[in-house]
């Protein structure tokens, strides 16, 4: 028995201060229903991922139920999931299990969120909630002392990772810039991406310094958006020639104190590959959580797409660009498509579905049959609070 994704849809990602997450979610659901050719009565349940928007637009509870108003979908189970940026992948995990258990035949998985505000302080305060707010209270105190969040997050997380990575791998700041350039080139072919205008390495390296060595164009923007998928049972999807099998969804929480243990991304990837019955060598296309440019390079190694330290070489060889042997983030990634929290993981999965269905247009990865998505949500102690890795297969 298997679970399949038969249709996928998303909104344009961008800055929409006048719109709520629920409004964006409703748009994605209606687009999905049209793409799937289904009516409201055909839906058995709706599983919704959302994280930061409660702080941003005030809809703290029942966000999924609010998003469904006006869609005709009602009187069905609506489950809301919060796992920071891995919320939608967490919703998919549970939707797949519900289908495999025979509980439902047709489930909508929706990821919707907001991270942009005209007040940067509001956005950064919402992001702060993805940490252990008591253990990291010193950040809040520093913000109160200085009157600004500044680079507190990046300096103490991705910038530190970047400094360590450059030292250990031999990568150069130009490699980080190259990731941004590559992903923006991909986004130029993605009408749903927030930023589509090509950039150069010189522009990336000349952009404002956020926290050494990360420049502004090496960091994902604060974004709003929504994306949705239709998850169906074998029985319900049998007649759909374009269905994509969910081979596995692995979810792991990080260790507050990791010590010498294997990295949580590697632990989760190994579990996902074992459950799917494939290996890293079988992957044709990947969507990795590039909240900063260094995150893509590091994740490509930890997922197992290349050996440790070989991320920069894979990038320089052109392998990770569309047209290369292992395209990474053909959607433009978080760096260019944008990063609206819980909607990010849903957008990664939608991109893989379109790629495996051969519907990705100008950014289509030729012959794509197996794809992998990596989402990272929050942080508690030494590791990501929730790491989700999904493997999808075409035509099975």
DSSP string, 228-272: EEEEEEHHHHTT-TT-EEEEEEEEEPPPSS-TTSPPHHHHHHHHH
Q: How far apart are CA 153 and CA 208, in angstroms?
A: 16
- pLDDT over 80 at 150, yes or no: no
Fold match flag (3-117+224-244 vs 150-218+246-394) = yes
Residue 115: exposure state from Cβ atoms within 10 A (0-12, 13-18, ≥19): buried
> Phi and psi dihedrals of 311, rounded to 5?
-55, -45
H and E: helices and strands count for the chain: 16, 11
Q: How far apart are CA 377 and CA 127, in angstroms?
A: 11
- Buried b vs exposed e over 310-325: b needs ≥16 C-beta within 10 Å? ebbebbeeebbbbeee
Predicted local distance difference test score (pLDDT) of residue 152: 64
Give the pLDDT band of residue 143 (cuts 50, 70, 90): confident
Domain 3-117+224-244 fold:
Peroxisomal Thiolase; Chain A, domain 1 (3.40.47)
β-sheet bridge partners, residue 14: 224
Tens of pLDDT, residues 224-276: 999 999 999 999 998 888 999 999 999 999 998 888 899 999 999 999 999 99
Taking Cα atoms as reference points, which of 126, 99, 89, 148 lies closest to residue 342? 89
Predicted local distance difference test score (pLDDT) of residue 116: 96
CB 309 within 8 A of CB 170: yes
Residue 236: exposure state from Cβ atoms within 10 A (0-12, 13-18, ≥19): buried
Residue ranges covered by each domain of the chain: 3-117+224-244, 150-218+246-394
Q: 150-218+246-394: what CATH class?
A: alpha beta
What would the mean pLDDT of 59-63 be, rounded to a whole number? 97
Distances, alpha carbon 309 to alpha carbons 293, 301, 314, 329, in Å: 15, 7, 10, 19
pTM greater than 0.75: yes
- pLDDT over 80 at 148, yes or no: no
Write out the E strands in 11-146: 45-49, 78-81, 106-114
On average, the pLDDT of the chain sits at 95
First to last CA, the chain: 11
Which residues 6+ apart lie within 8 Å of 393 measured at CB? 244, 245, 247, 276, 278, 356, 369, 370, 371
Predicted local distance difference test score (pLDDT) of residue 153: 67
Least confident range from 117-131, 175-189, 379-393: namely 117-131
CB 7 within 8 A of CB 35: yes
CB 53 within 8 A of CB 63: yes
Give the pLDDT band of residue 151 (cuts 50, 70, 90): low
Angle at CA 68, nearest 5°, toward 30 and 102?
90
- pLDDT over 90 at 157, yes or no: no
CB 59 within 8 A of CB 362: no
Query: Which position has the higher pLDDT, 127 or 40?
Result: 40
Tens of pLDDT, residues 161-205: 999 999 999 899 999 999 999 999 999 999 999 999 999 999 999
Q: Quick one: what percent of the chain has pLDDT higher than 90?
A: 85
DSSP string, 332-379: -HHHHH-B-THHHHHHHHHHHHHHHHT--GGG--TT--EEEEEEEEEE
Q: How far apart are CA 198 and CA 181, in angstroms?
A: 7
β-sheet bridge partners, residue 80: 48
What would the mean pLDDT of 83-89 be, rounded to a whole number? 97
Cα 181 to the chain's mean position, in Å? 19
β-sheet bridge partners, residue 383: 380
Write out the E strands in the chain: 3-10, 45-49, 78-81, 106-114, 209-211, 214-215, 224-233, 244-252, 285-287, 370-380, 383-394
Residue 133: exposure state from Cβ atoms within 10 A (0-12, 13-18, ≥19): exposed
Predicted local distance difference test score (pLDDT) of residue 137: 86
- pLDDT over 90 at 146, yes or no: no
Q: How far apart are CA 307 and CA 291, in angstroms?
A: 21
Tens of pLDDT, residues 292-319: 999 999 999 999 999 999 999 999 999 9
Would you tell me how many other CB atoms lie within 10 Å of the CB of residue 79? Answer: 15
Predicted local distance difference test score (pLDDT) of residue 393: 98
Would you tell me how many other CB atoms lie within 10 Å of the CB of residue 44? Answer: 19
What would the mean pLDDT of 130-135 be, rounded to a whole number? 89
Predicted local distance difference test score (pLDDT) of residue 74: 96
Predicted local distance difference test score (pLDDT) of residue 396: 74
Residues with catalytic function: 85, 339
């Amino acid at each position: 028995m298997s679970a399949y994704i038969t249709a996928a849809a998303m909104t344009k990602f961008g800055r929409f201060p006048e719109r709520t997450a629920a409004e964006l979610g409703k748009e994605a659901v209606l687009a999905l229903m049209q793409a799937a050719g289904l009516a409201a009565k055909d839906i058995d349940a709706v599983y919704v991922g959302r994280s930061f928007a409660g702080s941003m637009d005030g809809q703290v509870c029942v966000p999924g139920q609010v998003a469904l108003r006006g869609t005709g979908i009602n009187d069905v189970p609506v489950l809301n999931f919060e796992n920071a940026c891995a919320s939608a992948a967490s919703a998919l995990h549970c939707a797949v299990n519900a289908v495999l258990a025979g509980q439902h035949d047709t489930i909508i998985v929706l990821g919707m969120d907001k991270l942009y505000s005209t007040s940067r302080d509001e956005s950064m305060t919402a992001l702060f909630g993805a940490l252990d707010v008591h253990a990291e209270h010193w950040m809040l105190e520093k913000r109160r002392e200085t009157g600004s969040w500044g680079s507190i997050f990046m300096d103490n997380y991705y910038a530190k990772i970047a400094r360590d990575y450059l030292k250990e791998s031999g990568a150069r700041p130009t490699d980080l810039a190259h990731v941004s350039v590559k992903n923006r080139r991909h986004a130029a072919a993605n009408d749903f991406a927030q930023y589509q205008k090509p950039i150069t390495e010189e522009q990336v390296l000349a952009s404002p310094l956020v926290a050494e060595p990360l420049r502004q164009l090496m960091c994902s923007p604060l974004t709003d958006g929504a994306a949705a998928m239709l998850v169906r049972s074998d029985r319900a999807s049998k007649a759909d020639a374009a269905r994509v099998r969910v081979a596995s969804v692995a979810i792991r929480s990080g260790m507050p104190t990791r010590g010498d243990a294997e990295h949580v991304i590697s632990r989760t990837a190994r579990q996902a590959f074992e459950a799917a019955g494939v290996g890293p060598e079988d992957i044709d296309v990947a969507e990795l959580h590039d909240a900063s440019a260094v995150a893509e390079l590091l994740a490509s190694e930890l997922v197992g797409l290349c050996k440790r330290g070989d991320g920069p070489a894979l990038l320089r060889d052109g392998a990770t660009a569309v047209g290369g042997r292992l395209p990474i983030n053909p959607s433009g990634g978080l760096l260019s498509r944008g990063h609206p929290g819980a909607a990010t993981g849903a957008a990664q999965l939608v991109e893989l579905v379109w790629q495996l269905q051969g519907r990705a247009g100008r950014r289509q990865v030729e012959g794509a049959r197996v794809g992998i998505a990596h989402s990272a949500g929050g942080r508690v102690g030494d590791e990501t609070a929730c790491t989700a890795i999904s493997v999808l297969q075409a035509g099975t």
